[in-house]
Amino acid sequence: MQRNALHVIRSFFMEYNFRDIEQKWQQYWIDNATYKVEVDNNRPKYYVLDMFPYPSGAGLHVGHPLGYIASDIFSRYKRLKGFNVLHPMGYDSYGLPAEQYAIQTGQHPEITTKQNIERYREQMDKIGFSYDWSREVRTCSPDYYKWTQWAFQQMFEHWYCLRADAARPISMLIDIFNEQGNAKVRAAQNETPLFTAEEWKSWDEKRQQEILMNYRIAYLADTKVNFCPKLGCVLANDEVSEGLSVRGGFPVEQCVMRQWSLRVSAYAQRLLDGLDRIDWTESLKETQRNWIGRSEGAEVRFKVKDSDFEFTIFTTRADTMFGVTFMVLAPESELVRCLTTDEQKCAVKDYLEQTKKRTERERITDRQVTGVFSGSYAINPFTGEAVPIWISDYVLAGYGTGAIMAVPAHDSRDYAFAKHFNLPIVPLIEGCDVSKESFDAKEGIVCNSPRQGVTPYCDLSLNGLSVEEAIAATKKYVEAKKLGRVKVNYRLRDAIFSRQRYWGEPFPVYYKDCMPYMIPEECLPLELPEISDFKPTADGNPPLGHAKQWGWNEAEKSLAATADIDNKTIFPLELCTMPGFAGSSAYYLRYMDPHNDKELVSKTANDYWQSVDLYIGGTEHATGHLIYSRFWNKFLFDLDLIVQDEPFQKLINQGMIQGRSNFVYRIIGTNKYVSYNLKNQYETQPIHVNVNIVNNDVLDIEAFRNWMPEYRDAEFVLEDGKYICGWAIEKMSKSMFNVVNPDDIVEKYGADTLRLYEIFLGPLEQSKPWDTNGIDGVHRFLKKLWGLFYAGGNLAVTDAQPTDEELKTLHKTIKKVTHDIESFSFNTAVSAFMICVNELAQQKCAKRAVLEPLLVLLSPFAPHITEELWHAVGNTTSICDAKFPVYDEKFLVESVVKYPISFNGKVRFTLDISATMNKEEIEQTVLANNQTLKFTEGKTPKKVIVVPGKIVNIVL
RNA sequence: GCGGCAUUGGCGUAAUUGGUAGCCGCGCUAGACUUAGGAUCUAGUGACGAAAGUCGUGUAGGUUCGAGUCCUACAUGCCGCACCA
């Protein structure tokens, strides 16, 4: 009772009451539209973007907001520096989890998605972000996905011209075909036979459409895909890892299906080159380079012995032409059919069936050497020798030409194969030993090329050259003699764009005579229809097969009943939907102009905002989203729709926040629990305990008993009257009972404390564990700051002139914090604030001239408390519109420097020396000093090193 | 296997970029105020040592007047790619 009364009186006398303060200013910011931004040509722009979240059912845990807090600090900082800051947020709200949930519960994904978004919003709002919510986008909303569909149609209507190195309209391609056929067209394309203008003109609509399909950037083709039966769905390469789906971890099979794909591979070189012009971490760029997988090499044609047939292989080791002892085809290669002889037909058939049964996962994990001889031989164009052509699954159909020349001496995979099937091995590097393993390194001097004593078959000798020289010489020879060509290969494949799923963007496509046609642009968006059953249809079609209104009336340009599809006036619509990455590929452009119903983004808005200056998000999108959106952006750039060809200038990956789990130790077979330091005296088993009922590793025993029924009668073996828990750093997850909810932290300590603590934990980019135990430190800091303003319950700020000491404290903080924000070292900035407030408290400084700039400096980090104090000292406009203070060097200069004096590198004492002294004066002062004489012991120093302002080292 | 990053007190981390290692915070110890303390304040807190001092930034070398920082090798951990010819 007494305590309550005291509390009331105290808060009346202005204690730091974060709950009231934070609520009050959050409302003020809404009421005053503080965070609304518009194009303003009088101010420089700055665009700060967070990777928008997929709103999952679990809500945010304390790890999620880290990146948002960092971007918010930087946004607020830039605004105080005079920039017009675009800082939007939205939701990546199409995707698998909501649909899986729908299948399990019958709950429509739209409903769960809406609920999850509301929950996310509620949680984010409590943290005090400076988002302009009027610009919110949701990928599942029709006025947004209209532009996803529109972009897809543009990709359908364009092809990739290798001469222009850019996307060009299909209409242009048709003109070329009409005039000269396709012989001179250089395009990123699927395999297409040559044809003349006459042939082209003679073909009917369908045949022409089929040809054009080979050139389109969004194209429909039979593709070898990753199919996940458990998800009932095809997945892109980045959605599969080691033969398992990234989401769910279900097995993935390879099969051929007719699918939409995006010709991302056409952009491979530009995606690679672009990396050199953007400010991303080296590791992320490296990941992208790996994923793009550029390799320079040569394609060489091999004739088949006793046949007119020939085929092409790709190699990066052209220097090893003279060591080829066999050839290998991928089992899926078309060549297998052509090159298998009658005698080998059965054996080959058996082998193909056997490999087909093996899943990709088996092929990866269990690398046994398998293969079969095709019966044919190939003629090495450099030696004239005939070498056997084998078939093996260690060669991939999708890379290069699906066929290789095997050089067992210098390739470990070929080596394993040769050993297994007892094929010859010819070493080509002087002095290399290939009796036990192959010599794969690209170094050494080439020999045996050609072998001594053998009559040369061609006029090329590589003997005596280095590997590097030999590769170059061979490439030159291949080109000159027209044996093949120099070729660059990329690992990056086209992105499969169809998903046999409901909860995604519908394709704005209908089918006439089995060929796809785009529904007219003015009819977009094609809205996702309602369905009641989210599973595939009985005949194996995607869930959209259940839709009642899923036909297209071509003449009336309108939706029609599925039942009325007659393939004359009413045609079937595409049943697949787009994948998750579709909606996230251009959302950063839409934020620039989110309500425009005429264009994805207006020229005016795009000219002003350009591209994202700072992008913050997790590293898990390194090969998916960050490749696709760069591709998407470059495509739109080719069409002259946007002005920048790289979407994200600077990118920072925030580190993962791990969980800190707590354990209790149960004596095996009992309901008795032993405190941490006594556990070794018993046979115990560690059990995860909810971290929210543990404080500083001390278990709240009552809460533990109430946590779960099985612990109601738990007994304890205590130490010093307490139960101490063990701990471990693990992923933050429900099952480990280590999830900490930001709402709880905000409730207990306030949003400003949460914000400060999240970034105080350590460097932004580093993974680090969340440990609520440390949070008191930053909370205390805010209370101390509050205490500078209020003494004895009254506002104590004066207009007195600050002392030099106080100004020094302020200005060194301004200097450090400014530098730290610019270099995204927020944790050290918080530390600088703490030092500053500690010093000001020591100095009993309550002077406006010091405290006001400090508030502005701190406001990006702790916007609520600073806004409150800002108004308390008499300001009437938001602190968001203040000016960021600039430090003045004159307050920082020292008249005396404390020099560490070291002998042979070991510091022995310090000496105060005037800052104006030069090297010689310092040296003399130090050498004359009594303490120095003690350490020199009468010896004459060999050398004295004086670094002005830093250190003195005396070498004896 | 290839590539990238990291390794500092009991814990999270800091170090002006080659110049006094351990700032700031947690935790811990002692004390003050208090009926009380999971409040507040004060002092201490890398290891060994009574002290002087010695040792100390994953390990072993090297460069330097001087190395947590640069170089070489190794170990451990994390991440990416991986039968890509």
A288 touches strand B (CB under 7 A): no
Q: Which parts of A843-903 fold into alpha helices (H)?
A: 848-858, 863-872
Determine whether the distance from the CB of A178 to the nearest atom of strand B is below 7 Å: no
Kindly report the average pLDDT of chain A as a whole number. Answer: 90
| Average pLDDT value for residue range A423-435 | 88
Which residues of A spanning 763-792 put their CB closer than 7 angstroms to strand B?
A: 763, 766-769, 771, 773-774, 776-778, 780-781, 783-784
For A77, A156, A782, A845, A877, the CA distances from A871, given in Å and listed in that order, are 19, 57, 17, 19, 8
pLDDT at A242: 72
pLDDT confidence tier of residue A8, bands split at 50, 70 and 90: very low
Strand B proximal residues, A:13-72, Cβ < 7 Å: none
Mean pLDDT value of segment A847-855: 95
A365-416: per-residue pLDDT in tens?
Answer: 667 888 999 999 999 999 999 999 999 988 988 888 889 999 999 998 899 9
Q: What number is the average pLDDT over the span A111-136?
A: 96
Residues of chain A (240-269) having a beta carbon less than 7 angstroms from strand B: 241
Tell me, rounded to whole angstroms, the distance of Cα A36 from its chain centroid: 28
Asked whether residue A946, judged by its CB, lies under 7 Å from any atom of the DNA or RNA strand B, the reply is no
Q: What's the whole-number mean pLDDT along residues A524-551?
A: 92
Q: What pLDDT, on the 0 to 100 scale, is given for residue A610?
A: 97
The per-residue pLDDT for A14 is 65
CA of A274 to C1' of B14 (A): 36
CB A63 within 8 A of CB A656: yes
Residue A536 has pLDDT above 70, yes or no: yes
Where do the structural domains in chain A lie, given as residue ranges?
A: 42-138+580-653, 151-282+495-534, 294-490, 657-739, 746-891, 896-955
Q: Assign residue A158 a region: left if phi > 0, alpha if psi is -120 to 50, beta otherwise?
A: beta
Residue with tokens 């009437």: A876
Report the nucleotide nearest the CA of residue A783, measured to C1': B40
Nucleotide nearest to A358 (CA to C1'): B83
**Out of A20-29, A377-386, A648-657, A895-904, which region has the weakest mean confidence (pLDDT)?**
A895-904
- Report the distance from CA of residue A953 to the C1' of nucleotide B19 in Å, as an integer: 9
How far apart are alpha carbons A285 and A287 in whole angstroms? 5
SS (H, E, C) A278-321: CECCHHHHHHHHHHHCEEEEEEEEEEECCCCCEEEEEECCHHHH
pLDDT for res A747? 93
Q: Give the distance between the most distant pair of CA atoms in chain A.
A: 110
Instruction: Using the structure, give the distance in angstroms from the CA atom of A719 to the C1' atom of B56, rounded to a whole number.
Output: 33
CA–CA separation, A882 and A872 (whole Å): 15
Cβ of residue A491 near strand B, that is under 7 Å? yes
Cβ atoms A327, A400 nearer than 8 A: no
Protein chain A, residues 900-919, with a C-beta closer than 7 Å to any atom of nucleic acid strand B: 900, 902, 904-907, 910
Instruction: Report residue A5's pLDDT band, with 50, 70 and 90 as the boundaries.
Output: very low
Question: Strand B: which bases are under 7 Å from protein Cβ?
Answer: 3-5, 11-15, 19-21, 23-28, 35-36, 38-41, 54, 65-67, 78-81, 83-85
pLDDT in tens, A608-620: 999 999 999 988 8
Tell me the C-alpha distance between A571 and A344, whole Å.
48
- Which nucleotide lies closest to A410 by the C1' atom and the CA atom? B85
User: Which pLDDT score is estimated for A360?
Assistant: 64
Instruction: List the CATH code of the domain at A42-138+580-653.
Output: 3.40.50.620
Question: Å from A80 (CA) to B4 (C1')?
Answer: 36
Q: Give the nucleotide at minimum CA-to-C1' distance from A748.
A: B38
Confidence grade of residue A560 (pLDDT, cut at 50, 70, 90): very high
Span of A41-50, A652-661, A729-738, A871-880 with lowest mean pLDDT? A729-738
Tokens of A425: 């091995």
CA-to-C1' span, A518 to B68 (A): 63
Cα torsion for A917, A921, A925, A926, to the nearest 10°? 90
ipTM for this model: 0.94
pLDDT of residue A361: 63
A:605-624 Cβ neighbours of strand B under 7 Å: 619, 622-623
Q: Which of A83-87, A158-162, A336-340 has the weakest average pLDDT?
A: A336-340
Question: Measured in angstroms, what separates residue A767's CA from nucleotide B47's C1'?
Answer: 29
Q: Is the CB of A719 under 7 A from strand B?
A: no
Q: Is the CB of A812 under 7 A from strand B?
A: no
Lowest mean pLDDT among A32-41, A81-90, A244-253: A244-253
- In angstroms, how far is B71 C1' from A947 CA? 24
> Which nucleotide lies nearest residue A399, CA to C1'?
B84
Q: Contact at 8 Å (CB) between A254 and A360? A: yes
Q: Determine the Cα–Cα distance for residues A60 and A354; give it in Å rounded to an integer.
A: 47
pLDDT > 70 in chain A, percent = 98
The distance (Å) linking the CA of A282 with the C1' of B4 is 8
Q: A362: which nucleotide lies closest, measuring CA to C1'?
A: B83
A486 beta carbon < 7 A from strand B?
Answer: no
Closest CA to A404 of A315, A310, A301: A315
- Asked whether the predicted pLDDT for residue A264 surpasses 50, the reply is yes
- For A241 and B58, how far is CA from C1' in angstroms? 32
Q: What's the rounded Cα separation, in Å, for the pair A869 and A860?
A: 14
Q: What angle do CA A444, A450, A452 make, to 5 degrees?
A: 100
Residues of A from 413 to 432 whose C-beta is within 7 A of strand B: which are they? 413
- Has domain A746-891 been given CATH number 2.60.40.290? no
Quick one: how far is CA A8 from the chain centroid?
Answer: 49
The whole-number pLDDT of residue A801 equals 93
Average pLDDT over residues A802-817: 94
In this complex, the answer to whether residue A731 has its CB under 7 A from any atom of chain B, a nucleic strand, is: no
- Decide: CB of A293 under 7 A of nucleic strand B: yes
Estimate in Å the CA A558 to C1' B29 gap, whole number. 80
* Cβ atoms A892, A921 nearer than 8 A: no
Give the pLDDT mean for A903-916. 84
Distance A787 CA to B31 C1' (A): 24
Class level of CATH domain A294-490: alpha beta
Using the CB atom, is residue A896 less than 7 Å from strand B? no
A558, containing H or E segment: strand A558-560
For A86-95, A182-191, A314-323, A784-793, which range has the lowest pLDDT when averaged over its residues? A784-793
Nucleotide nearest to A830 (CA to C1'): B24
Other Cβ atoms within 10 Å of A374 Cβ, number? 26
The answer on pLDDT for A1 being more than 60 is: no
What is the predicted pLDDT for the residue at A645? 94
> What is the rounded average pLDDT of the residues A538-543?
88
In which band, very low, low, confident or very high, does the pLDDT at A644 lie, cut at 50, 70 and 90? very high
Only one residue has tokens 């519960």, namely: A105
pLDDT at A79: 97
CATH of domain A896-955: 3.10.20.590
User: Quick one: tokens of A719?
Assistant: 């130490």
- CA-to-CA dists, residue A605 to A47, A81, A146, angstroms: 12, 22, 19
Of the ranges A325-334, A841-850, A854-863, which is most confident?
A: A854-863
Residue A361: CB less than 7 A from any atom in strand B: no
Strand B atom within 7 Å of A411 CB: yes
Which nucleotide's C1' sits nearest to the alpha carbon of A290? Answer: B81
Query: How far apart are the C-alpha atoms of A434 and A359, rounded to whole Å?
Result: 32
Q: Is the CB of A487 less than 7 A from some atom of nucleic acid strand B?
A: no
Q: Give mean pLDDT, residues A651-659.
A: 89
CA of A828 to C1' of B22 (A): 15
Q: What is the end-to-end Cα distance of chain A in Å, rounded? A: 73
Interaxial angle between packed helices A65-80 and A751-760, expressed in degrees from 0 to 180 and rounded to the nearest 10: 100
User: How long is the CA A676 to C1' B10 vector, in angstroms?
Assistant: 15
User: Measured from the CB, is A898 under 7 Å from any atom of strand B?
Assistant: yes
For B39, nearest residue by CA–C1' is A780
Residue A658 confidence (pLDDT) above 70: yes
pLDDT the model gives residue A877: 96
Distance in angstroms: CA A954, C1' B65: 7
The gap between A661 CA and B44 C1' (Å) is 31
Does pLDDT of A756 surpass 60?
yes
Q: Which amino acid is at A105?
A: T
Q: Is A182 (CB) below 7 Å from strand B?
A: no
Q: Which nucleotide is nearest to A787 (CA to C1')?
A: B40
Question: What's the CA gap between A474 and A884, in Å, rounded?
Answer: 63
Residue A773: nearest nucleotide (C-alpha to C1'): B26
Q: Which nucleotide's C1' is closest to A907 (Cα)?
A: B20
From the list A873, A826, A823, the residue with the least C-alpha distance to A846 is A873
Q: Is a pLDDT exceeding 90 seen at residue A724?
A: no
Is residue A2 predicted with pLDDT exceeding 70?
A: no
Q: How far is the CA of A454 from the C1' of B1 (A)?
A: 36
* pLDDT tens track for A156-186: 999 999 999 999 999 999 999 999 999 999 9
Residue-level pLDDT at A363: 66
